[in-house]
Amino acid sequence: MLFLCIELKRYFIVKRFLEKLVEGALLISGSVTSITILLIVIFLFKEASGLFNSPVIEEGYVLAFNKTNPVKKLSSYQIKEIFDGAITNWDEVGGKEEPIEVVRLSDLTKYYTEAELGSNFENIPAKASELTAKHPGIILFLPTNYVAKHFNGTLLKHETLRPGDFFGGKEWYPTASPSPQYGLLPLLLGTLWVSLGAILLSLPFGIAVAVYLAEIADMRVRNFLKPVIELLAGIPSVVYGFFGLVVIVPFLQKTFQLPVGETALAGSIVLGIMALPTIITVAEDAMRNVPRAMKEASLALGATQWQTIYRVVIPYAKSGITSAAVLGIGRAIGETMAVLMVTGNAAVIPHTLLEPVRTIPATIAAELGEASAGGGHYQALFMLGVILFVITMIISISIEFIGKKKYSN
Amino acid sequence: MKKNNYRDETNSIPLQGLGVSNTGNIDRKKRISQGVAFTIFKLMSYAVVGILILILGFIVTKGIGTISWDFLTKAPEEGMTKGGIFPAIVGTLYLVLGSSLFSFPIGIMSGIYMNEYAAGSKIATFIRIMTNNLSGVPSVVFGLFGMALFVNTMKFGDSILAGSLTLGLLSLPLVIRTTEESLKAIDKSYREGSLALGATKLQTIRKVVLPMAFPNIITGLILSIGRVSGETAPILFTVAAYFLPKLPTSIFSQVMALPYHLYVISTSGTDIEASRGIAYGTALVLIGIVLTVNLLANFLRNYFSKKVKTN
């Protein structure tokens, strides 16, 4: 008897222990999403953090000035403008009145004969130093290993990218030499144009369908339309992109007589279609949550069904419709493949919807493969990822907030 | 009879007095505006069907000619302008399998914890918010993250393992949400009945709650497979190979994948015009997989819901 008691007790202890163990395992599983978000934050920031410590000038190169030149600092954009010939005088970048003389390594042959440079270019360091000393307006772009020990000039090599150059930069040109351009503005504006275009197209459409599904259609029509919308949501984005590429892009090119059909508008149309299921589902749910009593009261007062819809149902479901719109924008901003395939990917600030644009996600997808790990380009792409992540977090949190407001009312 | 007449009179006289004699006109206006609005809504709804038919119809009619046994079972040839897409199909299957092995157990367990152990608590709310946030993260950010964590930091390299983990994390919110909702739909009385009979919580979940929620959970899992098989951005930098006719030998090898293959041959292949046919075929296979998965999920949902009703 005693033995049985002990056995039974042990059995229950083991059992309770097992229960606790399982609960612990479940809790750990439950925390995976939170841990993932934490890890995403850590890793994105870690990889992107070096961006503002990365040199403005291409790795392994320096810029050299004449010693008398008072200019000691140049921003990434100024360097690019100088080498593009857009800035031609030192007084434009804070120096004295003096024309800028741009010299690259290959230009050295204009100043010296090949014999003077040496058969193995062994005299380049000395000659470069000499040239820099002689020309007061010179800016010389030189590989680090050609810099002479006692270089007769000012070297610009520790300049790092400024946050202003990134966040306010108007050009994205990561392969530019000598100074790659990591300007966020064209990409951010491209993303916003395409997403806003998409939401303008799909929001009226989505709300109309949601109203029809929630208030007008009978059960049979609903049972037919719902799976159709689910299928539309299930089509992979790369297929949407392909469809856009072979159907919408040529169509736009023909209709608007454009040089290229890959435009922001093509992206907006494709994204608009892709955002439809999200908008419809969320807006319809919101309209279904309108209390029956409110609708009945409106109808009992003599309002028609249509009056009830636009005076009672839609105002009541306003917060739900807002979150549908916000969620749709979120989807559109983050969408990568379809946009990459149809928007033409020209990293310029757009002026109309009929120009090629490049979005942030498309930039990451297109360029990360070419960027060497740890380099400035790589860090800039991760910084884009950070920005994208922050935008979507703001959207998620604002939806949470919109939802809360509804309940407190 | 008399009473009725009297009522009619009192109804109409004050109306005339108030100058609302044209009620019929207002009614007609109302009816017309309602008719117009409803017609517009109806047309727009059917336009959605039109869009779906347009996309599907286009890809099916253009792609059906490419589909053949050889196309499905051979590797790409001659710079991907000829041959088949077998390695890409196999790669996608591996990725779906790998990501499911990761996301299904964790997602289901997480859903069980949220609904059965922590329902209504702060922890559950917190997990729910985090899960929602994670589902809002763009897929390309998952790609960046997978590359930074799995490929570079954990040194998996471009591999099935890295790609599967990335895709698994991406589909986790969907699995968690469907599990939680399936469990929520089960009436409390079943749990209470089981507990009253002396079953422990774990036994109740295993023997009562999970079997009942199973059909809906399965539907959610199948839908997540559909989602995973079409994702491109997360696998760009974690696993996908541009061209790799060999089949993978371990979880550390690279693979081709259908969505990435479609992207490559339609935008940056060696000869885009020559490989258009293959592109249509690939799109059709991809859409076929996704549609089959969706229809299967729909069918299962209907099948099980009927079964539950008859019980």
Q: Is A397 on the interface with B (CB under 8 A)?
A: yes
Q: Show the domain range for B27.
A: 23-63
Which CATH code is given to the segment(s) A185-408? 1.10.3720.10
Kindly determine whether residue A34 and residue B127, on different chains, have CB atoms separated by under 8 Å. Answer: yes
For A64, the 3-state DSSP assignment is strand
Token couple for B6: 């009297």
Kindly determine whether residue A34 and residue B237, on different chains, have CB atoms separated by under 8 Å. Answer: no
* Domain of residue B189, CATH code: 1.10.3720.10
- Determine the straight-line distance between the first and last CA of chain A, rounded to whole angstroms: 63
Q: Indicate if the pLDDT at residue A80 is higher than 70.
A: yes
Report if residue B304 sits inside a domain. Answer: yes
Q: How far apart are CA A313 and CA A306, in angstroms?
A: 10
Of B33, B63, B93, which residue sits at a domain end? B63
Clarify whether residues B133 and B44 are in a common domain: no
Residue B204: its pLDDT value, please? Answer: 92
Crossing angle of helices B160-184/B139-146, nearest 10°?
Answer: 130
Clarify whether residues B233 and B210 are in a common domain: yes
For chain B, the domain total comes to 2
Other CB atoms within 10 Å distance of the CB of residue B300: 15
Token couple for B149: 């964590």
Of B46, B63, B80, which residue sits at a domain end? B63
Residue A157: its pLDDT value, please? Answer: 65
For A104, the 3-state DSSP assignment is strand
Clarify whether residues B48 and B157 are in a common domain: no
- CB half-sphere exposure, A166, CA atoms < 13 A: 22
Clarify whether residues B58 and B81 are in a common domain: no
Q: Is A266 on the interface with B (CB under 8 A)?
A: no
Give the nearest partner residue to B114 out of A18, A30, A217, using CB atoms: A30
pLDDT in tens, B192-250: 999 999 888 888 999 999 998 988 898 889 989 998 999 999 998 898 887 887 888 88
Give the nearest partner residue to A26 out of B109, B136, B267, using CB atoms: B109
Report if residue B1 sits inside a domain. Answer: no
Put residue A387 in one of left, alpha, beta given phi > 0 → left and psi -120 to 50 → alpha. alpha
Mean per-residue pLDDT for A138-160? Answer: 78
pLDDT in tens, A277-322: 999 999 999 999 899 999 999 999 988 888 999 899 999 998 889 9
Alpha-carbon dihedral sign for residues A158, A162, A166, A170 = negative
Q: How far apart are CA A121 and CA A89, in angstroms?
A: 31
Clarify whether residues B81 and B110 are in a common domain: yes
Clarify whether residues B185 and B42 are in a common domain: no
Q: Is A15 on the interface with B (CB under 8 A)?
A: yes
Q: How far apart are CA B277 and CA A287, in angstroms?
A: 44
CB of A266 within 8 A of CB of A342? yes
Report if residue B115 sits inside a domain. Answer: yes
Give the nearest partner residue to A33 out of B130, B149, B153, using CB atoms: B130
State pTM to two decimals.
Answer: 0.86
Clarify whether residues B260 and B300 are in a common domain: yes
Clarify whether residues B167 and B58 are in a common domain: no
Token couple for B259: 């969505």
Residues 177-216 of B with CB under 8 A from A: 200-202
Q: How far apart are CA A229 and CA B47, in angstroms?
A: 11
Clarify whether residues B156 and B279 are in a common domain: yes
Which uninterrupted H or E stretch holds A329?
Answer: helix A318-334
Q: Where are the beta strands (DSSP E) in A87-192?
A: 101-104, 138-143, 154-156, 172-173, 181-182
Residue B269: its pLDDT value, please? Answer: 62
Query: Which residues on B lie below 8 Å from A213 (Cβ)?
Result: 45
Kindly determine whether residue A30 and residue B137, on different chains, have CB atoms separated by under 8 Å. Answer: no
Clarify whether residues B81 and B105 are in a common domain: yes
Report if residue B16 sits inside a domain. Answer: no
Q: Which residues pair with A143 in a beta bridge?
A: A61
Clarify whether residues B43 and B154 are in a common domain: no
Q: How far apart are CA A178 and CA B38, in angstroms?
A: 62
Token couple for A59: 């790795």
Specify the fold of A61-162: D-Maltodextrin-Binding Protein; domain 2 (3.40.190)
Q: How far apart are CA B41 and CA B47, in angstroms?
A: 10
Residue A47, class by beta-carbon neighbours within 10 Å (0-12 exposed, 13-18 middle, 19+ buried)? buried
Please give the residue that has the higher pLDDT: either B83 or A226.
A226
Q: What is the residue extent of each domain of chain A?
A: 61-162, 185-408
Range A149-178 burial, b when 16+ CB lie within 10 A, else e: eebbbbebeebebbeebbeebebbbbebeb
ipTM above 0.90, yes or no: no
Residues 103-132 of B with CB under 8 A from A: 105-107, 109-110, 112-114, 117-118, 123, 126-127, 129-132
Crossing angle of helices B23-63/A185-211, nearest 10°?
Answer: 120
pLDDT in tens, A47-69: 888 888 888 787 778 888 887 87
Q: What is the pLDDT along chain B (311 residues), one digit of tens a residue?
A: 344 444 444 444 444 444 444 556 777 888 888 889 899 999 999 999 999 999 999 999 999 988 888 888 888 877 677 778 889 999 999 999 999 999 999 999 999 999 989 888 888 889 988 998 999 899 999 999 999 999 989 999 889 999 999 999 999 999 999 999 999 989 999 999 999 998 888 889 999 999 989 888 988 899 899 989 999 999 988 988 878 878 888 888 888 899 999 998 888 766 777 788 888 999 999 999 988 988 888 888 888 777 655 44
Q: Indicate if the pLDDT at residue A360 is higher than 80.
A: yes
Clarify whether residues B255 and B293 are in a common domain: yes
Give the nearest partner residue to B263 out of A238, A306, A335, using CB atoms: A238
Residue A79, class by beta-carbon neighbours within 10 Å (0-12 exposed, 13-18 middle, 19+ buried)? buried
Other CB atoms within 10 Å distance of the CB of residue A255: 10
Kindly determine whether residue B42 and residue A373, on different chains, have CB atoms separated by under 8 Å. Answer: no
Q: Indicate if the pLDDT at residue A79 is higher than 90.
A: no
Report if residue B243 sits inside a domain. Answer: yes
CB of A60 within 8 A of CB of A144? yes
Residue B12: its pLDDT value, please? Answer: 42
